[in-house]
Structure 1
Amino acid sequence: MKKRVGLLLAIMTAFVMLVMPLGNTTHAQAADNSLEKIQKKGVLVMGTSPDYPPYEFQATVNGKSTVVGMDVQIGKKVAKDLGVKLKIKSMSFDSLLVALQTGKVDMIISGMNPTPARRKNVSFTHTYYQGGYDIVINKTDKAKYKNKDSFGGGTLGAQTGTTQYNAAKSQTKNTTVKGMTSQSDLILALQSHKLDGVAMEKPSAEAYVSNNKQLAAIPSDFNMSSSATSSAIAFRKGSTSLVNKVNKTVDQIKKENLVKKDYLPAAGKYLKTNTVNTSMTHYWKAFLTGIEYTLIITVCSVFFGFIIGIILALARMARGNFFKNLLRWVATAYVEFIRGTPMMVQVMFVYFGLGLFVNLPALTSGIIAISLNSGAYVAEYIRGGINSVDVGQTEAARSLGMSNGKTMRYVILPQALKNIWPSLGNEFITLIKDSSIVSIIGVTELIYQSNIVRSDTYRGVAPIVVIMVLYFILTFTASRILNYFERKMQHA
């Protein structure tokens, strides 16, 4: 099944649990009103990672990219039985548990295993599906590989942190096991012969094989426990009344065999529809949306990052009384901390950590996080630019009776800006590419949209080539514009 929460998210979860008021937890356990809250709100937010056909994946429906699959059908059934509307929120699988614990989503239906480790942090319903595992291979190797024991001396791939990844590591001999975060990346590696096989769940294996004539599936013969091959719906810990209510829906789904009778066949139809037209021009709207969000994130982050950078640079250069020294110390600590932590962690902290107190949309969270990150780097550029201005400029301005503020504003900063313009341009170009990080929280920028297209078409290379070209066009155009203004400033 899908990958477990990685070390990074484990740290985030630990932080979240630490900052949560203990009184609220105690109250939730004493008086569970989870069912009442959902029914009163009238909306049930389902978190999912739509990259796992036929459980959940993207398909083009009436010209619009939509999340479909058997898990979506289950979500609709649950919402209908609760008498509320269903809202689907897409994000990476690794982010789902944190999103549930911080209230970003109300439930998770994403082919998730109800493992003992996960049960410590969330509440699961009864299982709604019992699966198994296959190994996907290139059809030309069908005579060579029969099961997991056939890969001696070869390379077997699986999603990092998943039960099949762990099984491949522990239950194969003389086999190199390679983990990747995306199933589509694994299939791409398989077809480019960087892997000999990919271990995945049976329905997903069947989905890829049925839509790609170059692939075949063989039994894995992994020795797996029932919890490692089953799927259940996850809710926040202590949501007893809500879980009990949803269990009735799950029991009905199993009793009427709706998964195999209705939900899987419906998902199969969407899978076939996806492969009718897999040309990249067919998905121009998806790429255009990605460009739009990438530019929104970049422009806003550059604007706010520049303002933050100026404030931090001036604060770092403050000298004098206790207040100014304290301001300098705080600014220095901020710059060093931001530059010393990955942007991905910062994005997740803003979205999930601050989300405990303010329910920020994913796009807003991404802009805030990237602006805060950019501000730390811009501050150093500006500080270096200010220091590069000859001290005689300051002395001349002061001799004319200009105040410190006016000297900085009208004399020093304009010259500093001219000196650091290439560095600021570099930062702008970098932000265009770094905006891809916000895809982890479900912002529909270029990387996110390319993953949608890959999920839709089962084509691994073509969408990558398209976004490479698009990123180059964006960065090349931006470079030419910045160079134009640089030349104008040099001649000013």
Structure 2
Amino acid sequence: MRIKMKKKKTGIMQEGIVLVMCLVALLSLASCGSYKEVRSVDDLEGSRIGVQLGTTGDTYASDYEGDDAGTVIERYNKGNDAVQALKQKKIDAVIIDEQPALAFVEKNKDLKILDEEFAVEDYAICISKNNTELKKKINSALAELKADGTFDSIAANYTGNDDEKGKTPYVAKNIERPNGTLVAATNAAFKPYEYYDNGKMTGFDVDMIQAVCDILGMNLKMEDMEFDSIIAAVQSGKADVGVAGITVTEDRLKNIDFTDSYTTSKQMIIVKDPDAASVGGSISEKFNDNFVKDSRWEYLIKGLGNTLLITLFAIIIGIVLGFLIAIVRTNHDKNGGLTILNAICKVYLTIVRGTPVMVQLLIIYYVIFASVNTSKILVAVIAFGLNSAAYVAEVVRSGIMAVDNGQFEAGRSLGLNYSQTMKSIILPQAVKNILPALGNEFISLLKETSISGYIGLMDLTKGGDIIRSITYEPFMPLIAVAIIYLVIVMILSYGVGRLERRLKKNER
């Protein structure tokens, strides 16, 4: 009998291995599309085009979408992500601004830019339609910078020829700044216009807006966020201006205003270079480039600190509010009381559990706190805490409802009222039953904080993104971020397991 059972188990194991191998093969085939070589603009039809979400490259490429040739547009949050997809032949071409295209190709020798330009466009600073006075001041400052040669000096430092680049960095003037602070939203993954260097945000646009602030007598505060969040930040008042190589288009003018154009750019097409030699480097070289050079590991440390801070306080909000909601709902279910509070709780649970946490984060930041200059960490704590509370409430409620009704009756027979029975008898038993589920919720909460970058907050994932935007190396920064998350989750799981065993000791 044992021999037969062993053979049967071995057979099942072999079948399982074969099934997994077949599944992997199918997934590999599904992810592999036919690669098309793009040599000119005419070859874009029927190809897979990568663009950065919300850019004019996205707008122009959308004209190809849905055509008879079967053109596919792949939209990425960052131009760097689109370039990495191109390197792996997941797409056939990338449409992006000329200067960032040059920076990408300089770092990736297996790519090239087609000689034929895709489109020509003007860059301007976006500003709220209600802020006409500030627009006039900035236009006047831009005219002054162009007249005295400062603007040309800044441009040459970042976009000039090899003899000019890096020779004329702009230095903020040591002057009185009585006119407040100008908050400028940007996306610091767009070299040479805005990017990180030695832990500091720099670039053409950064120096240009600093020079504008010097003329206006204002302090400058740069806010780094996703590109498609910039206009929303300006509209909601979270930022005064948007400076990120933004092109003036008719669609954008419907919702936002622009200053005078400060430079002209081109949309170019990046493709794989079939004649390029294989490039690569040792693991130690890549490790040094991604983490050691210029102390880039500090981006991860700073992001990790914010991630843990947000998670900790969001958990506290989730536990406190979740338990309160659960008690209100179970009180209503068992006694029929607290009708109005129960109805409010049900509406809250329906809304929070029925909408994505990222949408909730954006609504809280751009809508609810639109006119309030609130700390982004506080906004994130509130958003994730409120989201977690809804799930904690249902977990706790299920734990309370699972406790036998006889326990309630025993408490009443001892002379305890409902609140005393709940506190002394029911909740201790419920917590032991729901602890694994609560642990899973907190683990999920930790990982959900990775979307904090959408409101310009530096979290762990954003730190990895910044490193990727500097080195154009996807593997090591992403693996580093994944390992850090994994270690934290393992520590949290271990702690929950120990607490669970400790609470159950009295049952033996």
Q: Select the residue among 88, 95, 109 that pairs with 1:199.
A: 95
2:125 is the alignment partner of 1:233: yes
| Partner SS, residue 230 of structure 1 | strand
**Match of 2:62, as an amino acid?**
K
**Match of 2:378, as an amino acid?**
T
2:139 is matched with which residue? 247
Listed as ranges, the matches of 1:363-382 within 5 Å are: 363-382=377-396
2:312 is matched with which residue? 299
2:464 is the alignment partner of 1:450: yes
2:262 is matched with which residue? none
| Partner SS, residue 358 of structure 1 | coil
2:297 is the alignment partner of 1:284: yes
Listed as ranges, the matches of 1:473-492 within 5 Å are: 473-492=487-506
Q: Select the residue among 409, 430, 446 that pairs with 1:432.
A: 446
Name the TM-score, length of structure 1 as normaliser: 0.65
| Partner SS, residue 114 of structure 2 | strand
Q: 1:158·1:200 contact (CA, 8 Å) conserved in 2?
A: yes
Q: 2:146·2:152 contact (CA, 8 Å) conserved in 1?
A: no
Q: 2:105·2:113 contact (CA, 8 Å) conserved in 1?
A: yes
| Partner SS, residue 200 of structure 1 | strand
Separation in 1 of the partners of 2:345 and 2:490? Answer: 33
Separation in 2 of the partners of 1:263 and 1:445? Answer: 32
| Partner SS, residue 457 of structure 2 | coil
Give the superposition deviation at 1:241.
2.2
Q: 2:107·2:472 contact (CA, 8 Å) conserved in 1?
A: yes
2:52 is matched with which residue? 159
Distance 1:273 1:402, change over 3 A: closer
Separation in 2 of the partners of 1:244 and 1:198? Answer: 36
Q: Which has the higher contact order (CA 8 A, sep 6+)?
A: 1
Q: 1:290·1:444 contact (CA, 8 Å) conserved in 2?
A: yes
Tell which structure's C-alpha radius of gyration is larger.
Answer: 2
Separation in 2 of the partners of 1:296 and 1:305? Answer: 14
**Match of 1:356, as an amino acid?**
A
Listed as ranges, the matches of 1:56-67 within 5 Å are: none
**Match of 1:212, as an amino acid?**
N
**Match of 1:451, as an amino acid?**
D
Separation in 1 of the partners of 2:373 and 2:113? Answer: 44
Listed as ranges, the matches of 1:55-454 within 5 Å are: 145-170=38-63, 174=69, 175-222=71-118, 229-255=121-147, 258-266=150-158, 269=166, 278-281=289-292, 282-319=295-332, 324-454=338-468
Separation in 1 of the partners of 2:131 and 2:54? Answer: 27
Higher mean alpha-carbon deviation, 448-457 vs 230-239, is at 230-239
**Match of 2:59, as an amino acid?**
N
Query: Deviation digits for residues 52-106 of structure 1, max 9, x if unmatched?
Result: xxxxxxxxxxxxxxxxxxxxxxxxxxxxxxxxxxxxxxxxxxxxxxxxxxxxxxx
Give the superposition deviation at 1:431.
0.9
Separation in 2 of the partners of 1:385 and 1:234? Answer: 52
| Partner SS, residue 446 of structure 2 | helix
Give the superposition deviation at 1:485.
1.2
Separation in 2 of the partners of 1:310 and 1:366? Answer: 21
**Match of 2:291, as an amino acid?**
M
Question: Over aligned residue pairs, what C-alpha RMSD do you find?
Answer: 2.7
Name the TM-score, length of structure 2 as normaliser: 0.63
| Partner SS, residue 339 of structure 1 | helix
Give the superposition deviation at 1:328.
0.8
Give the superposition deviation at 1:266.
4.0
Separation in 1 of the partners of 2:358 and 2:335? Answer: 37
**Match of 2:84, as an amino acid?**
L
Give the superposition deviation at 1:195.
1.4
Q: Which runs of 4+ in 1 moved over 6 A?
A: 270-276, 320-323
Q: 1:171·1:222 contact (CA, 8 Å) conserved in 2?
A: no
| Partner SS, residue 238 of structure 1 | coil
**Match of 1:424, as an amino acid?**
L
Distance 1:203 1:348, change over 3 A: same
Query: Deviation digits for residues 390-426 of structure 1, max 9, x if unmatched?
Result: 1111111111111211110010001000000000000
| Partner SS, residue 350 of structure 1 | helix
| Partner SS, residue 402 of structure 1 | coil
Q: 2:331·2:337 contact (CA, 8 Å) conserved in 1?
A: no
Give the superposition deviation at 1:273.
6.7
Give the superposition deviation at 1:220.
4.8
**Match of 1:331, as an amino acid?**
C
Q: 1:386·1:413 contact (CA, 8 Å) conserved in 2?
A: yes
Q: Select the residue among 460, 464, 473 that pairs with 2:478.
A: 464
Give the superposition deviation at 1:323.
7.2
Separation in 2 of the partners of 1:404 and 1:435? Answer: 37
Separation in 2 of the partners of 1:245 and 1:312? Answer: 51
Separation in 1 of the partners of 2:119 and 2:330? Answer: 63
Q: 1:155·1:177 contact (CA, 8 Å) conserved in 2?
A: yes
Give the superposition deviation at 1:351.
1.5
Overall identity of the aligned pairs, in %? 33
Q: 1:188·1:461 contact (CA, 8 Å) conserved in 2?
A: no
Separation in 2 of the partners of 1:345 and 1:145? Answer: 37
Distance 1:214 1:257, change over 3 A: farther
1:92 is matched with which residue? none
Q: 1:190·1:196 contact (CA, 8 Å) conserved in 2?
A: yes
